[in-house]
Structure 1
Amino acid sequence: MSRKFFGTDGIRGRTNEAPMTAEMALRVGQAAGARFLRGDHRHRVVIGKDTRLSGYMMESALVAGFTSVGMDVVMVGPMPTPAIAMLVRSMRADLGVMISASHNPFYDNGIKLFGPDGYKLSDEDEAEIEGMIEAGVELVASEKIGRARRIDDARGRYIHFAKSTFPEHLRLDGLKVVIDCAHGAAYSVAPEALWELGAETVALGVSPNGTNINDGVGSTAPKLLQERVVSEGADIGIALDGDADRVIIVDEKGTVIDGDQLMALIGVSWANSGLLCGDGIVATVMSNLGLERFLASRDLKLIRAAVGDRYVLETMRNGGYNVGGEQSGHIILSDYVTTGDGLVAALQILACLVESGKPASELLRQFEPLPQLLKNVRFDGGQPLEATSVKAAIADGESRLNGTGRILIRKSGTEPLIRVMAEGEDEKLVHEVVDSICDAVKAA
């Protein structure tokens, strides 16, 4: 389904440039609010944000939009994306909004929408909202304008919820954890939750100033975390992204562990405990072939979905699976959450670490990944993947891999990038294939 404003994870772009303007935020508030006005009860929307400077502007515009169509607004301030999904359900709200561009730099921002069930909106809902944005909506009479208020205890509610997902018989006493919050939405809640569970915490990326979110910190820039884990003699490091819906782990030796290894650990642990549903886990087409082989060796399945945690979740719900995620660190544990939750996933990893008594470097290396390479090629427009030269380069790469690996080419749903990925038994060949296709895309 072609959409004009929404990508794979809401609306996203550079702030003060279309579509990420205050005017657009106002129209989104009006359209989404009107779309979810159902019944004669007082309608409510929960709005959270990360720590970007533009969050104040976008929040104000959204509040104006929602109240103008008769919806009451509850603002909770900087909070992780999964916290908004949780609060929508616990507060019996009709809609939830997260203002965030996730792992992007501070000058970008985005709008993610959640329905009353705490799940991200369907493609059909987003398409309908897009139509209402362009057509305009009817505003309510002055006496029916919604009210707006802030609540101060949302962080405590989320911390309590996150801790409730950690096994009651375990504690983190004696464990030294370095937590990197990317100067983002979890800068307060994540270190607090770990400390309350007994961990000795060293916190990085917890001093947001509006422009430093994801700047040399967080799950997409783990170098500082790697260094601090080693220098502090910590047992493990945890890196969240700007809105804390993804997690990357660093072992005690400073090695980065990606989402594939984390899903393998949680999946097998839950299977051994009788908690895993569906005899398998859901990942995306980007996940390593080594994960698939590892699960098969334990009589478990890997079900692949399109890229984007919303599509992972859709596949999980349709198939009755309760563990899924992405190599990038979006991990969905649907027994607890309706979207990716970096802190909740990290707590499951910490539970495995405590119970095993093993060092993280031994526990977290569940399988040997096949050589895999992903490169991004930025483009300014057009359809480079339709070029004959690009198609020929892809066909040549597939022929050279000759059934020993695979190639995946796709457009990013959040940035103007072509993502080129290949994996196979021969690392040198994988690099040659990716470079050849990237060169063709650049030339096109």
Structure 2
Amino acid sequence: MTRKLFGTDGVRGTANTEPMTAETALRLGMAAGSHFTRGDHRHIVVIGKDTRLSGYLLEPALTAGFVSVGMDVILVGPLPTPAVAMLTRSLRADLGVMISASHNPYHDNGIKLFGPDGFKLSDEDERTIEERMDNGSEKFRVAPDLLGRVRRLDDAGGRYIEYAKTTFPRGLRLDGLKIVVDCANGAAYKVAPTVLWELGAEVVPMAVTPDGFNINRACGSLHTTALGEQVVAHGADLGIALDGDADRVVLCDETGREVDGDQLMALIGDLWHNSGQLRGGGVVATVMSNLGLERFLTSRGLILARTQVGDRYVLEQMRRDGFNVGGEQSGHIILSDHSTTGDGLVAALQVLAALVRSGRLASEMLRLFEPLPQLLRNVRVEGRVAADILAQDAVKAAIAAGEAKLVGQGRLLIRKSGTEPLIRVMAEGEDPALIDTVTADIVDSIRHAAA
């Protein structure tokens, strides 16, 4: 059975429209709760969320589903995705849930599930949960005396703050550093500035007034223009941009120049290699990462292992082959010595530790390689099946022509998004004009096929 409900990062869609409805969330809670009810102990699920208005719709529906199958629910409110993963393990819970659509705008939402080990669920677990939903979640209801209970964990934010601080090297401080942190009006709007301040930094917070609608709006890791401007205006040493659920990070150096996930993986991988901390002989990244990263790591005697797009696939390879650094160009950085999922704040702390130890400027440290020209264009295909469009002869011909033009000069990647109704067209090569032409031709063919 293939997964129909779950994508590359949980379940996602437009709020109050299938599958992001209270009805489906209720059934999902019942199915997931029953799947993770194993043994005769009181079973626990931790539920966190970001700051979207629709969190008020999905949180009680999921809670009702879990309670109806006998699971106790711990509500932690707005917290980063990695905090939910951490608390799931720390509280010895059987399941963790994060209600978030990550970097998407407010009108979308999503549901991410974590197992008792704090890791995202396997494809097999997700398929089993879908089967239970399809076959009738109501069969898993328990007797009235076995219903679950619900409570709020008032110190959840404080627990994550202390955890994040433990990932920063002991004895090191951020005294004397001025840091602008953009919290995307999202899940980290309280905890991220607090962590940085408690470690000694002078903190300039941005996008920390969520109203249910402004999450990721002209702020956060996808929109760093304002962050760069604020870094320069305040004379800051570094800018940190998180996304809506704070599992990804993009930086700006003191000149306001953006630093993406590839550069962060290069820096952390190289530093950990030099200190003997790196495992696996290199870094795990996706097919989207720039060829410049691969060349840099090769020059250091390290490898770049590539996976399909999605941080869950990066983590699967890291666990399978013993790597402890991996991530995505978009800013999902997974440091498995510290976390079971991407953690934007923890990754930023590793960079800050390197800056403190070196005494150098961010612009001198965070550009370890020159990226090859890379162009990514998205084509929206609302109401159409992306696989059907990509199977059309005209589209296949345009892709084949593009690949022929790039032979020996670059690479081409065409894929459907796992989280949005998009087809993504990416070309990379030495010649910017050539990759622009190649992507334009393919995008035109896809748009024509989707019309």
Q: Deviations along 1:147-182, whole A, 9 cap, x unmatched?
A: 000011000000000000000121100000000000
TM-score of the pair, normalised by structure 2 = 0.98
Of 331, 334, 344, which residue of structure 2 is paired with 1:332? 334
Deviation at 1:2, TM superposition (A): 2.6
- Determine helix, strand or coil for the equivalent of 1:237: strand
Give the whole-Å Cα distance in 1 for the aligned partners of 2:204 and 2:428. Answer: 36
Counterparts of 1:7-26 in structure 2, within 5 Å, are: 7-26=7-26
Q: Deviations along 1:280-317, whole A, 9 cap, x unmatched?
A: 00000000001000000010000001100000000000
Which residue in 1 is equivalent to 2:443? 438
Residue type at the aligned position of 1:193: V
Counterparts of 1:404-419 in structure 2, within 5 Å, are: 404-419=409-424
Deviation at 1:129, TM superposition (A): 0.4
Structure 1: 4+ residue segments shifted above 3 A:
none
Of 373, 395, 409, which residue of structure 2 is paired with 1:371? 373
Task: Say if 2:287 is the partner of 1:285.
Answer: yes
- Determine helix, strand or coil for the equivalent of 1:198: coil
Give the whole-Å Cα distance in 2 for the aligned partners of 1:57 and 1:429. Answer: 47
Give the whole-Å Cα distance in 1 for the aligned partners of 2:94 and 2:268. Answer: 32
Give the whole-Å Cα distance in 1 for the aligned partners of 2:430 and 2:22. Answer: 49
Residue type at the aligned position of 2:70: G
Which residue in 2 is equivalent to 1:420? 425
Task: Say if 2:310 is the partner of 1:305.
Answer: no
Give the whole-Å Cα distance in 1 for the aligned partners of 2:447 and 2:351. Answer: 40
- Determine helix, strand or coil for the equivalent of 1:281: strand
Q: Deviations along 1:230-277, whole A, 9 cap, x unmatched?
A: 101100000000000000000110110100000000000000000000
Of 255, 277, 289, which residue of structure 2 is paired with 1:275? 277
Q: CA RMSD in A?
A: 0.7
Deviation at 1:135, TM superposition (A): 1.3
Report the number of matched residues.
Answer: 444
Residue type at the aligned position of 1:400: K
Give the whole-Å Cα distance in 1 for the aligned partners of 2:94 and 2:321. Answer: 26
Residue type at the aligned position of 2:20: M
Give the whole-Å Cα distance in 2 for the aligned partners of 1:226 and 1:298. Answer: 30
Q: Deviations along 1:371-391, whole A, 9 cap, x unmatched?
A: 100000001203111011111
Bigger mean CA offset, 124-133 vs 320-329: 124-133
Which residue in 2 is equivalent to 1:231? 233
Residue type at the aligned position of 1:358: R
- Determine helix, strand or coil for the equivalent of 1:207: coil
Identity %: 69
Which residue in 1 is equivalent to 2:354? 352
Deviation at 1:339, TM superposition (A): 0.4
Which residue in 1 is equivalent to 2:96? 96
TM-score of the pair, normalised by structure 1 = 0.99
Residue type at the aligned position of 1:275: Q
Counterparts of 1:133-148 in structure 2, within 5 Å, are: 133-137=133-137, 138-148=140-150
Which residue in 2 is equivalent to 1:46? 46
Residue type at the aligned position of 1:49: K
Counterparts of 1:72-87 in structure 2, within 5 Å, are: 72-87=72-87
For structure 1, the residue ranges without an aligned partner over 5 or more in a row are none
For structure 2, the residue ranges without an aligned partner over 5 or more in a row are none
Counterparts of 1:306-321 in structure 2, within 5 Å, are: 306-321=308-323
Which residue in 2 is equivalent to 1:130? 130
Residue type at the aligned position of 1:72: D
Residue type at the aligned position of 2:273: A
Give the whole-Å Cα distance in 2 for the aligned partners of 1:440 and 1:54. Answer: 36
- Determine helix, strand or coil for the equivalent of 2:75: strand
Counterparts of 1:53-72 in structure 2, within 5 Å, are: 53-72=53-72
Residue type at the aligned position of 1:70: G
Give the whole-Å Cα distance in 1 for the aligned partners of 2:108 and 2:280. Answer: 38
Of 190, 193, 214, which residue of structure 1 is paired with 2:192? 190
Task: Say if 2:34 is the partner of 1:34.
Answer: yes
Residue type at the aligned position of 1:393: A
